[in-house]
Structure 1
Amino acid sequence: MTVLITLARRGGTALAVLLTAGPLAAQLAPQPARPASPPAAALATPVAAATGPWGLQRAIDYALAHNIGVRLNQLTVQSNAQVLRQSKAALLPTANLNATQAWQYGTSVNPLTFLFQNETVRSNNVSGNSQLVLFQGFQLRNTIRRNALDVQASEADVQKARNDLSLNVASAFLQAVLAQELVRANQFYVTRDQDQIARTKLLLQAGSIPESTLLDSQSQLATDELNVVNAQNQATIARLNLLQLLNLDPAANPDFQLEVPNLPDPDEENALTLNTNELFQGAATRQPEIKAADLRVLSAGRSVELARGTYYPRLILAGSIFSGFSSARMVPQSGGDSTARRTTFFVQNPTTPGGPLTPLNVITYQPNELPQKYWDQLSQNLGQQVQFTLNIPILNGLQVRTNVQRTLINAQQVQLQAEQARLTLRQSIEQAYADARAAQLQYAAATRQVAALTTTQRNAEIRFNNGLLSGTEFNVTKNNLNFAISNQLQAKYTFIFRRKVLAFYDGKSLAQ
């Protein structure tokens, strides 16, 4: 949460405090928490919101249901699940049917008779084949295990995106609440200035103070009115940021209101004490980014085993069945009167040597070639094949070795990324605790300062009304009080958010 406080000076003396509620994300958002994606409103058409005030829990739930980044992560999970399904299906044998039809013109070799011919031939080839990997260095099994780990890691990424979005919504929600507080505070200053000007005019008419005192009061009023405008602008920006995170259309929600929760002051609680190491140990078992990092370490290990599987021989069992048809395939046929030929032979009767010759009629048929029928050809040309293929890698340009080395390096990188994720989580917890503790102490000090400056400002007002204090000096006391109040508000909301972050790391809801 960043509140930029600019002191307007006159003659080297602080006269006014310009309160500008800047973006809270830089100070309130936990580090290294970042939005899982750009705000959903920047990626899709915003949707209209339901009526009624918005509490923190409702805002978080609505953002989780409508954020584009979360939904994209969910689609990634579905995509990885399909990859896993495909890797499991790779254990099954493959089976395919093929069919071709071709026309050959001019001189060609008959695919069935293997004779040269010069004619137009139509041919069909049909085949079916199946293949089963019997052994492949356990690569199929390791692929399944690796893809299953990738699915689990992507599921953890979804939860990480949801957590980041929840933290950003909580930050934007508290930013909007603080902006409203700053608007009310600055409006109170304006009202107080107006009352002071009315009293100053009466004192001026009575001759108790010079005219310069009235001018100083009017200058202070103008400064505080500018502060109100700046605070209202920052409140509008804070409201817009929250609406964009919720993917709500600002034009369709002109009456968007926040349900301000009951936020106790930091001094109403005991001094914050926390064992950050114990909190880290518990958070490391719950936070999805740690789970995702560990799963990717295991996945990288499977990738190494997968690459090493290329060293092993590969044994494949294959089978096929095939047949074909050619329009040039001819078969001889005989019979019928159209091809019959009568021939008479005169032979000697063996029982009567030297006797007369006896005529013998013989009918022969002229051979005739006809195209063989389609289904007859498919039946006669049918062939089957069973084949075992053994592939033993010996030397392939060191491709296998270099691939294994790359996977080993990648595994080391993933291991370091997992360690970095744990380090980042530890640092985020330590930073959140340090900020929360500092904010609680700052709030206590600011509260004491506000009490002291309130008394000082009252005394100064009495002296000013009696003409014992100049307008410049009186405005200094008011601005000091305004500055202390702004510091008090800033410390309060910083402490509230950091405490919520620590509770979130402890497994509790942000809305609690």
Structure 2
Amino acid sequence: MKNIFLIVLLFSLCLGVQAQEKWDLKKCVDYAKEHNIALQLKKLEADVQTNNTKQSKLNLLPSLNGRTDYGFNYGRTLNSTNTYSDQNNESGSLSISSNLTLFDGFKKRNELKQNELDLQATLEDVEKAKEDLALNITSYYLDILFKQELLQVAKDQLKVTQLQIERTSVLVDAGTLPKGTLMEQKAQAAQEELTVVNSQNNLDLSLLDLAQLLDLEQTADFKISIPKLPVLNAIQSMIDPESVFENSLKSRPGIKAANLRLESSMKGLSIAKGDRTPSLSMYGFWGSNYSNDFAEYEFLNGQPNLVRNEMKLSDQLRSRERKAFGFQLDIPIFNGGVVNRNISNAKINIDRSRLNLDNTKNILRKEIQQAHANALAAMKKYFSSETAVSSTEEAFRYTEEKFNLGLVNSVEYNQGKNNLLKAKSNLLQAKYEYIFRTKIIDFYNGVEISL
């Protein structure tokens, strides 16, 4: 009894694991945001710009550098008496220096602001890449749902034909219908079986396409969950495209990035103009040195008098130390026209950024207008397809009744059924196209894509 219980428990767990393997749209999008290589490259660009911004902040701080060296001299050497002699000696030095820019025409501060703007623009590029990826995944996801329903329609049609074959067999055996009618029905069933196979293959390929878009290593068992689809109506697709455009100007990452890059180019002009102004810096220095042949002398009547012929390292560093402190003013006068060239190029960059912003807005406006037109067309197609299916179903029902009474032949019957299959397929295609087009309108209107 315990063994049976364990088997049932394990079987239930396996079913639970299999159920968890189904991917909904949110899971697909979240996974792609973490693993998509193109998106990861965009994030790395943002990381580089983050480092540039941090460096701009550190550039405002004073510099501090230390230096030391130790060397060996052979042959004729200038000694402590300021004369040359043949000897070998060892010497070294130690120094620390610092420099702080007090004023540079606000170049460093403008460089910091420019890097901050460039960082924000790069982060908006990442957001745009995420949204484009989500929209692409939604298209693939809806295509799978469409293929699944299309497969089910094909299976339902085949089931109807198989039931009709059973009824026709009874009528043929009773002598009511000729045997040729049964053969025609079986030929129709064979054709519909091929349609089912083709529909299944198309579904499998669509699943593979989405799995590959997600960069999954294992694609054989990839399945998606079937969501509750939104109610289709004409409200969202009838939103005025101009109002959608105005909302998009406030929310679209591409527009934000273009605006930020325009501001960045203006900071670039300020940086270039900063080279025209004088710069003031403050510096400080401490240093000392050591030599193993250093001797301390005092001069009496112009002649050196040895006081000590050897001095310890600590004493030398203390007695021979050098200190400096001061200010440095650099005044640009003429540098081959480099400053004027940089200012001129900075102005060109502003014009380029402004044109890029205008072009981005124009592209966005056209995309929204096209999306609105596509949504309207999809809406009309969907509702027309609904009417067509309703009419075709009624016509087929009438044909089927006449066929059962022997008033029409199997050719007319199969033609009616094929017309119904085509109408249902057209309806499904229109349905998912309409859903996708309304999702695009939502996307431009700042609504997160979801099912």
Contact 2:207–2:222 (CA<8 Å) still a contact in 1? no
In the other structure, the counterpart of 1:176 is: 144
**CA 174–320 in structure 1, closer or farther in 2 if over 3 Å, else same:** same
Contact 2:290–2:317 (CA<8 Å) still a contact in 1? yes
In the other structure, the counterpart of 2:357 is: 418
Contact 1:208–1:466 (CA<8 Å) still a contact in 2? no
Q: Does 1:258 align with 2:225?
A: yes
**CA 255–143 in structure 1, closer or farther in 2 if over 3 Å, else same:** closer
Q: 2:420 aligns with which of 462, 472, 481?
A: 481
Could you list the per-position Cα deviations for residues 218-238 of structure 1 after superposition, in whole angstroms to 9, with x for gaps in the alignment? 333233222212221222222
| Offset of residue 143 of structure 1 | 0.3
| Offset of residue 123 of structure 1 | 0.7
**CA 199–422 in structure 1, closer or farther in 2 if over 3 Å, else same:** same
Q: Does 1:109 align with 2:78?
A: yes
- Single out whichever of 289-298 and 52-61 deviates more from structure 2: 52-61
The DSSP-based 3-state class of the residue aligned with 1:222 is: helix
Aligned-partner residue type, residue 305 of structure 1: S
Could you list the per-position Cα deviations for residues 387-421 of structure 1 after superposition, in whole angstroms to 9, with x for gaps in the alignment? 44333334333333333333322222222222222
Q: Report the number of matched residues.
A: 429
Q: 2:248 aligns with which of 283, 301, 321?
A: 283
**CA 401–444 in structure 1, closer or farther in 2 if over 3 Å, else same:** same
Q: 2:63 aligns with which of 79, 82, 94?
A: 94
Query: Aligned equivalents of 1:246 and 1:232: distance in 2?
Result: 21
Contact 1:105–1:121 (CA<8 Å) still a contact in 2? yes
The DSSP-based 3-state class of the residue aligned with 1:371 is: coil
Could you list the per-position Cα deviations for residues 42-94 of structure 1 after superposition, in whole angstroms to 9, with x for gaps in the alignment? xxxxxx99816544344444444554554554444343233222112212211
- Structure having the higher helix fraction is 2
Query: Aligned equivalents of 2:370 and 2:92: distance in 1?
Result: 76
| Offset of residue 158 of structure 1 | 2.9
**CA 114–68 in structure 1, closer or farther in 2 if over 3 Å, else same:** farther
The DSSP-based 3-state class of the residue aligned with 1:372 is: coil
Give the TM-score of the pair, scaled to structure 1: 0.75
The DSSP-based 3-state class of the residue aligned with 1:123 is: strand
| Offset of residue 379 of structure 1 | 2.1
Aligned-partner residue type, residue 151 of structure 2: V
Contact 1:49–1:248 (CA<8 Å) still a contact in 2? no
Q: 2:388 aligns with which of 446, 449, 453?
A: 449
| Offset of residue 102 of structure 1 | 0.6
Contact 2:117–2:263 (CA<8 Å) still a contact in 1? yes
Q: Does 1:309 align with 2:277?
A: no
Equivalences for 1:285-434 in 2 at 5 Å? 285-331=250-296, 370-434=309-373
Query: Aligned equivalents of 1:331 and 1:495: distance in 2?
Result: 97
**CA 209–184 in structure 1, closer or farther in 2 if over 3 Å, else same:** same
- Single out whichever of 294-303 and 424-433 deviates more from structure 2: 424-433
Give the TM-score of the pair, scaled to structure 2: 0.84
**CA 237–367 in structure 1, closer or farther in 2 if over 3 Å, else same:** closer
Contact 1:432–1:498 (CA<8 Å) still a contact in 2? yes
| Offset of residue 482 of structure 1 | 1.4
Unpaired runs of at least 5, structure 1: 1-47, 334-365
Equivalences for 1:212-223 in 2 at 5 Å? 213-223=181-191
Query: Aligned equivalents of 1:257 and 1:316: distance in 2?
Result: 65
The DSSP-based 3-state class of the residue aligned with 1:397 is: coil
Query: Aligned equivalents of 1:101 and 1:68: distance in 2?
Result: 51
| Offset of residue 471 of structure 1 | 3.9
Query: Aligned equivalents of 1:262 and 1:184: distance in 2?
Result: 17
The DSSP-based 3-state class of the residue aligned with 2:309 is: strand
Contact 2:97–2:286 (CA<8 Å) still a contact in 1? yes
| Offset of residue 149 of structure 1 | 0.9
Q: 2:209 aligns with which of 229, 241, 244?
A: 241
**CA 137–332 in structure 1, closer or farther in 2 if over 3 Å, else same:** closer
Q: 1:497 aligns with which of 420, 433, 436?
A: 436
In the other structure, the counterpart of 2:302 is: none
Identity value in percent: 34
- Single out whichever of 210-219 and 489-498 deviates more from structure 2: 210-219
Supply the RMSD in Å over aligned alpha carbons: 3.0
In the other structure, the counterpart of 1:7 is: none
Query: Aligned equivalents of 1:328 and 1:52: distance in 2?
Result: 81
The DSSP-based 3-state class of the residue aligned with 1:480 is: helix
Equivalences for 1:25-104 in 2 at 5 Å? 51=20, 53-104=22-73
In the other structure, the counterpart of 1:145 is: 113
In the other structure, the counterpart of 1:440 is: 379
The DSSP-based 3-state class of the residue aligned with 1:122 is: strand
Query: Aligned equivalents of 1:498 and 1:329: distance in 2?
Result: 88
**CA 330–120 in structure 1, closer or farther in 2 if over 3 Å, else same:** same
In the other structure, the counterpart of 1:343 is: none
**CA 50–161 in structure 1, closer or farther in 2 if over 3 Å, else same:** farther
